[in-house]
Amino acid sequence: MWFQITLALVLLLVVLLYVYLAYRYRYWLRHGVAYVKPSPIVGNLGPLLRMKSSSAHMTQAIYNYPEAEDRPFVGIYLFHRPALLLRDPELIKRILSKDFSKFSNRSLNADCFGDPLGSLNLFFLKNPYWKEVRSKLTPFFTSWKLKQMFPLVQKVGLNLNEYLLKMPLNGENSFQLELKELCALYTTDVIATVAFGIQANSFKYPNGEFRRNGREIFRFSTRRALNFSVIFFLPYLVPYLGIKVVSPKEAEFLRSTMTRVLEEREKSGIKRHDLIDILIDFKNQTKTQPRQDGLRFEGDLLVAQAAIFFTAGFESTSTTMSLALYELAKHPQMQERLRKEICDTLNESRGEISQQIIESLEYMQMIIDETLRLYPPLAFLDRECSLPEGQSYSLEPFHSFSIPAGMPVYTPVYALHMDPKYFPQPHEFQPERFSPERKKLITPYTYMPFGLGPHACIGERFTMLQAKIGLLNFLRNHRVTLGEKSIKSIIIDAKSLILQPEGGIHLNVVRDPLKY
C-alpha cells in the first residue's frame, strides 16, 4: 500500500516536472525568437557540465547555431532559465556601453555571508556599490601611477632575465621550461611588490606562500568547475549550496596576509602610492564620513579588493605571456622580427629601458593583441537586465522582444574573435591584423579581450605594461623553439571558465643574447 502511494507520488512529481519544463522550454518559441534546442534539465549547458567542451567552445557553438545565422541574438536556456546570447556588434554596443545603466550588473553571484572575499570584490559587486568602489580604485591605474610602478615592474623583469641566465644549458645551448609557470612566477612577484609592497621572491622560492596559494586558486578540479558553472549560470543557488569563489584555505591566506600588510602600513605611516595606500584612504574616509547605507570600507571589503587584484593581476597576464611565447615558437620569423625590434630599440637607448621605450614597441603590441584575440582571458561577458522588477528593455529595431528585468545576457567574446566575418582566417596567428593601419578597420565591438564599456577591465593598461616588460626581458637574451614536449596546438582546459591551456606550455629556451 505505502509502496504504491510512494510510487504514485513519484510519478506525479515526474509528470509535473515534465509539464513544467515543457512549458519553460517553449519560452523562446512563444516570443518568436530563434533559439538553440535545449536538453532536459540542463538546457544548453550539457557540454559544459559534462566537461566535454570549454566555455569558449560552448558559447562559440551557440553563436554559430545554423538557425541563428544573421540573427542579432539567439535564445538559450540555463537549465530551465531563459537567457540571451548576443550576435550583432551594434546590439552588443547598446548593452555594454550605450545603455549600460540598464545592464550594469553581472549575472553571476557569490554568497555575501559565507564568501565575503568572493562577493565583495570589484568583479562580483553589484550597483550601486560597484560604481563607488570602482571610482575609488580607478586612480591606481592613472598614467602617473603607471609611471611610478614602472621601476618596480622592471626590477622584477630584470629578476626574470637573471633567473633565465642562471639556468644550466644542454649541449645545444638551450634548456626546457614550462612557460606558464615561469610567467606566473614573474607576474606573482610584480603584483606582490606593486600592489602590496611585498617581496614575494618567487624565482628564489617557487613554492612560497604567494605562488603556492595563487596556484591553488586557479587549479580547477571537477568539483570546482561545477561550482563555477553554478556561480555563472545558476547564481541564485550559490548561497544554498555553500559554494565559494575563494576556498576557505586560500581565503584565510589572503585575509591574514592583506590584513597584516594593511596594519603594518598604517603603523609605519609610509606612503608607497600603491593599492594598500588607496585602501587605507578608503578606511579613513569611512571613519570621518559615516555612511547611511551601512557599507563600510574596512575589514573584508578592503581585503576583497586586494584579493581580486592579486588573483586577476597575475593569472591573466602570465597566461597571455606564455601563449604569446608559444605562438612565437611556432612562428620563428615573427619572433626574429620582434627580437630585432627590441634590439634596435635598446641600441637607440643604449640599453636603458624606460616606460616610453616599452610603449614604443609597436610589433610587440601587435603580438599581444593577436594573442588576446586567439586566447581572450574570459570567453564571454555576462550581464543581467538591471531594470526594476516588472519593467523590460525593448530590443527594437532588432526584434519585437523586450528583455525582462533579471534576464541574463551574454556576449560571446571568443566566438566574435573567431568569426571569419570579422577576422578572416581566424585560426591563424596574424599579428598584422593589429597594425596601426588595419586596427582602425576592425568592426567595433567585435574585439574585446578586456571587455568594453564601463565594466571593462580596470587594469588593462597595467596588464599590457606588465606583459611587455616581461616579454622584453625574456627575449633580450633568449628565444624559444618547439621541443619534444611541445603540443601542436593549444587545447583549452574544459574545466576552467577562465581560458587556460591544458597541460601547460613546454618549450625549448635557447640562449641567444641580442647585441646592443
User: Per this entry, what is the length of the chain?
Assistant: 516
pLDDT at 318 over 70: yes
What pLDDT does residue 166 have? Answer: 96
Helices assigned H by DSSP within 289-299: none
Tell me what the mean pLDDT of segment 395-421 comes to.
97
CA dist 432 and 436 (Å) reads 9
User: Is 343 annotated as contributing to ligand binding?
Assistant: no
**Using N-to-C axis directions, what is the helix angle for 129-137 and 275-288, rounded to 10°?**
130
Q: How confident is the model at residue 295 (pLDDT cuts 50, 70, 90)?
A: low
Of the two residues 1 and 229, the one the predictor is more confident about is 229
pLDDT band for position 290 (cuts 50, 70, 90): low
Q: Where are the domains of the chain?
A: 32-511
Q: Which three cell numbers stand for residue 451?
A: 571587455
Single-letter code of the amino acid located at 456 = A
Task: Give the SS3 label for residue 468.
Answer: helix
Check pLDDT > 60 for residue 343: yes
Q: Please, which residues have CB within 8 angstroms of residue 42's CB and are 6 or more apart in sequence?
A: 49, 79
Res 291: pLDDT: 56
The C-alpha atoms of residue 122 and residue 136 are separated, in whole angstroms, by 11
Element (H, E) at 480: strand 478-481
Tell me what the mean pLDDT of segment 293-310 comes to. 77
To 5 degrees, how large is the angle CA 304–CA 237–CA 18?
A: 160
What tens digit of pLDDT does each residue of 112-171 get?
A: 788 888 888 888 899 888 998 898 888 888 888 888 889 999 999 999 999 999 999 988
* 424, 430 contact by CB (below 8 A): no
Mean pLDDT, the chain, rounded, equals 90
Phi-psi category of residue 445: left, alpha or beta, with phi > 0 → left and psi -120 to 50 → alpha: left
CB 374 within 8 A of CB 407: no
pLDDT: which is higher, 409 or 222: 409
Range with the largest mean pLDDT of 2-16, 327-341, 493-507: 327-341
CB-count exposure of residue 440 (10 Å: 0-12, 13-18, 19+)? exposed
Instruction: Give SS3 for 509.
Output: strand
C-alpha distances out from residue 100 to 122, 154, 255, 384, 454, Å: 17, 37, 33, 10, 7
Percent helix, percent strand, percent coil in the chain, to nearest 5: 55, 10, 40
Banded pLDDT at 218 (limits 50, 70, 90): confident
Percent of the chain with pLDDT over 70: 95
Q: What is the pLDDT of residues 15-57, one digit of tens each?
A: 666 677 778 899 999 999 999 999 988 999 999 988 889 999 9
**Residue 481 grid cell:** 623553439
Cell numbers found for residue 392:
523590460
Its CATH class, for the domain covering 32-511, is: mainly alpha
Range with lowest mean pLDDT among 50-59, 164-173, 302-311, 344-353: 302-311
- Under the banding of pLDDT at 50, 70 and 90, the label for residue 7 is low
pLDDT tens, 52-72? 899 999 999 999 999 998 899
Lowest mean pLDDT among 176-190, 246-260, 377-391, 501-515: 246-260
